[in-house]
Structure 1
């Protein structure tokens, strides 16, 4: 590897077996951070096929500007960027490419370019244009330098569509391949396979950027956190990372679809949109959909926001419902080292559009008596809305976090760190009272980019460094037990007691104070590991098991009741 000494020319790195890339120094940070943008790791040769690894290139590739993003919804992206962790570029730049969207961005200490250092690596999913220079600079300032890599992967119709027609197409295609790969015959999981390709690229090539492939942490928030959770459950992804950070989401937040059920509904809808006759042969339907320009799919997503795309139980990438495996320690890499997971205090406050379908999946009718005992019966629209948000936060985020925690606690080697993020932002709270510590608010403090946009006040900007210190320590610590961050050593389960505790119930519940609490008072303290009560935990375990069984029987859409229509005792 080589380094360009002329800072105006930008740093140049030679990636063995691929080629050279020229990046750029971040002048706003005193040239302490180097960025290599739009570095390709794979190419999509054909829609609804596994991507192929990028081939070597000639000359020096320009890596000074962000590359194309995967085709996706363009309307309402300001909302998505603010609350769901979608990269900033998605709001301001609509440069999309179905073929060339699989690129990564690398942010590293400028002093490490061309050096023999082996720095720890943080991989952010998702990805895309999220600017990570602030986090890297803070790691330098703390004398704990690290590299941050962001990955793009296919989304929505392009990455997660499944049906019996697509399954047949994938199976037929697999028969024509001389050297079959483990994923051939898979359907509806192309976005997940893209992520694995990206992690394999990091394993093989991050050394050229002074990164250590054996010290990789993967991290995501919301949909990205769900993706991180899924990666834990895929045996072929083992060894590609040793640590993970899951912020507000797990695989069971959005469990897999059955291709012939929910996936089929989406496929049939797309055929109707594209005026493809119902009586066509299955493979001809797929062939015609492949010829439809991608912009038409994007137009449909703009007109129909908040379509929930999820991975598929295709029998190849995923063989078992994640609701039954995410809490099982045997589903995880035996070499896994450390997991940090947590939630914001008011998770349900920013995803109202998604609440009813989510709640319908998570609240079986059979649990109605237990439900009303724990949560009561709303009688007004306002009460319905408040309960809906609570259920979304508890059932969609906090309970899945508990499931992961259960697995890691039972894991033979991995350590667990839990956190609660309770801080809101004054500016957003003033604009939208009641948002509180909403879903995604932690990203403002982890990446620090909101500071430049003037979102945070002076005190909140100071809090950014406290939050970043925890994330940096997690990524860079030599080992979990050598770190000062708290590990969950006591019980995860709250016990009924008359003593101090947390949870919803007549009696308080006690839990070990081993979680990190990012307080609304801008202090970092210790608190109870689990905020769900014992009764709530029992309710959600039963609900998830029932929902998984109903999905298996093809009745996923009939599992529960709709809060928007009211709940009757």
Structure 2
């Protein structure tokens, strides 16, 4: 297992007993008067889809005892190994969407997984209104190698709070991961971006069917975190996604043009992956044919040892443009420059200390507050980071930016080194791609649209550290680690069925504010105020200030905090733009 896989498995193992102990015992539809206090449906959760198939769901209870109809693991598509998915055919019997099916094949030992995995969930708040509600479609993260809507994730991503508090329809889906979802041969045998195409198929399903669940197909917001945010940015650019959503939220990630995401690098890694699996041939199509014959477990566990940076594990075979489906016909910067993107409202941001956990996994010495470094010792550690993330050709420029020569004298405290290392890893991987993509898109749309017909952009940074985060390995001194905003996004602190977890009143207040802001954006195209603080648009009217909402107990607006790091240093490597 890679360090990242181990970390996520450990996080799941730590979280599992707490969450399982707090799980509500949901049952299928019951007529009335459930003696065990389970939710009682006022109407049967039974829906007929556009293709004629019927699905039966279960009842759940949202905030303020609001009735929720949950439809679990509806099949939206099928796919052969490495091929693009095709829509699911109609069925004759009633489909029991009353329990979770398998996750997509992956290394995570805490979930049951299979190649037959293209399912989605729908959470529908019930009321007397006949007006269609906005729809929010969640895309999970996990480095494109881990993730699901099953297991622990089905607790974390449970949509009842968002649906009930925000009065929206919540959808989430499985998509293929690792080599199953992203192997790219440069030929039709493994056409690339299969996992993103799965997401596209799910969005088409939503467009065709969500009105049957009370959702408005013309008011769809896609949102995701980490790799899910990366995928959202791809869909914002993709011509194949046109008209399938009107708003997008990106949390901790976005597309970039790092070497890891280029077509040539992807083919190179596909060959290396084949060799790892025992498929040796100069003909790449024969390599893929060999891979197709292997059992899924062989492919799932063969990713180790490819010398892929932990942060990019599973992304080694993704191609960002030029795939066979035409998801991204050109490079991201070229598409942005030409205005080839979907004109949607966008909200984007990240957490304060994205790479804190990864840095400490890479070098445990950084945890020791008494440790100090000479420059010679420190420079070797930085070189190891640059090598792991393929930044060696820019090592001097990056080092001089974060550690100018005048700061290198004497002994340097581990706390200083840790902060610099966190920034060096956070900026190119999650923070600056997110910031630059949002900035480029906002500036291009502002330039090409009239004041009365323009899309709106908002940005944020999540700054709140909760005692709950310590349960999953994000210590207080680490700050706010990658992914720590997700429980707040889904209202975990304010769910009655997980009251045993270590959430404070401050956590509950912040989570309620976040859910309200995210769903307000889905309703209106803006997040509204964050508590008592007005949330300004990202770009000031003169285009000189980049404004972000810092979300914490005391919310406040920050300006231009990332311009130097992202624009002056990283833009030339991540998203070059003329």
Distance 1:97 1:367, change over 3 A: closer
Distance 1:162 1:448, change over 3 A: same
Q: For 2:131 and 2:224, how far apart are their aligned partners in 1? A: 26
* Residue equivalent to 2:562: 532
Alignment equivalent of 1:140, drawn from 161, 164, 179: 164
The alignment partner of 2:273 has SS state of: helix
Distance 1:267 1:442, change over 3 A: same
Q: For 2:257 and 2:542, how far apart are their aligned partners in 1? A: 20
Aligned 1:52-67 pairs, distance under 5 A:
52-67=86-101
Aligned 1:242-321 pairs, distance under 5 A:
242-252=246-256, 257-259=261-263, 261-278=264-281, 281-301=283-303, 306=310, 307-309=313-315, 311-312=318-319, 313-315=321-323, 316-321=326-331
* Residue equivalent to 1:332: 341
Offset, 1:118: 0.6
Offset, 1:517: 1.8
Q: For 2:273 and 2:528, how far apart are their aligned partners in 1? A: 53
The alignment partner of 1:106 has SS state of: strand
Q: For 1:400 and 1:283, how far apart are their aligned partners in 2? A: 33
The alignment partner of 2:82 has SS state of: coil
Aligned 1:205-220 pairs, distance under 5 A:
205-220=209-224
* Residue equivalent to 1:38: 73
1:124/1:151 contact within 8 Å kept:
yes
Between 1:122-131 and 1:54-63, the stretch displaced more is 122-131
Distance 1:18 1:148, change over 3 A: same
Distance 1:464 1:329, change over 3 A: farther
Offset, 1:266: 2.7
Alignment equivalent of 1:153, drawn from 175, 183, 189: 175
1:121/1:146 contact within 8 Å kept:
yes
The alignment partner of 1:49 has SS state of: coil
Distance 1:17 1:111, change over 3 A: same
* Residue equivalent to 1:490: 540
Distance 1:421 1:329, change over 3 A: farther
Q: Is structure 2 residue 356 aligned with structure 1 residue 349?
A: yes
Aligned 1:101-116 pairs, distance under 5 A:
101-111=117-127, 116=130
Q: For 1:492 and 1:136, how far apart are their aligned partners in 2? A: 41
* Residue equivalent to 2:441: 407
Q: Kindly tell me the number of residue pairs found equivalent between the two proteins.
A: 479
CA distances 1:206-254 after superposition (whole Å, capped 9, x unpaired)? 0110100000000000110000001111111111111000001001186
Normalised by the size of structure 2, how large is the TM-score?
0.74
1:229/1:250 contact within 8 Å kept:
yes
Offset, 1:192: 1.0
Alignment equivalent of 1:462, drawn from 504, 509, 525: 509
1:36/1:107 contact within 8 Å kept:
yes
Distance 1:331 1:350, change over 3 A: farther
Unaligned runs of 5+ in 2: 1-28, 33-39, 141-147, 363-381
Offset, 1:286: 2.0
Q: For 1:132 and 1:333, how far apart are their aligned partners in 2? A: 30
CA distances 1:255-311 after superposition (whole Å, capped 9, x unpaired)? 76344x3223332333223323336x5433322210101111223347879324153
The alignment partner of 2:74 has SS state of: strand
Q: For 2:491 and 2:292, how far apart are their aligned partners in 1? A: 40
Offset, 1:135: 5.5
* Residue equivalent to 1:421: 462
Q: Is structure 2 residue 112 aligned with structure 1 residue 95?
A: yes
2:260/2:266 contact within 8 Å kept:
no
Distance 1:262 1:370, change over 3 A: closer
Between 1:400-409 and 1:361-370, the stretch displaced more is 361-370
Q: Is structure 2 residue 237 aligned with structure 1 residue 233?
A: yes
The alignment partner of 1:418 has SS state of: strand
- State the Cα RMSD in Å: 3.4
Normalised by the size of structure 1, how large is the TM-score?
0.75
2:220/2:247 contact within 8 Å kept:
yes
Q: For 1:133 and 1:361, how far apart are their aligned partners in 2? A: 30
Alignment equivalent of 1:397, drawn from 430, 435, 460: 430
Offset, 1:196: 0.6
Q: For 2:157 and 2:570, how far apart are their aligned partners in 1? A: 39
2:102/2:113 contact within 8 Å kept:
yes
Offset, 1:456: 1.8
Q: For 1:381 and 1:267, how far apart are their aligned partners in 2? A: 42
Offset, 1:69: 1.0
2:493/2:503 contact within 8 Å kept:
yes
Alignment equivalent of 1:121, drawn from 130, 135, 138: 135
The alignment partner of 1:26 has SS state of: strand
Distance 1:211 1:386, change over 3 A: same
The alignment partner of 1:342 has SS state of: strand
The alignment partner of 1:13 has SS state of: strand
The alignment partner of 1:36 has SS state of: strand
Offset, 1:414: 1.1
Unaligned runs of 5+ in 1: 76-90, 171-186, 495-510, 549-569
CA distances 1:94-128 after superposition (whole Å, capped 9, x unpaired)? 22121x3111000110337xx73310000000262
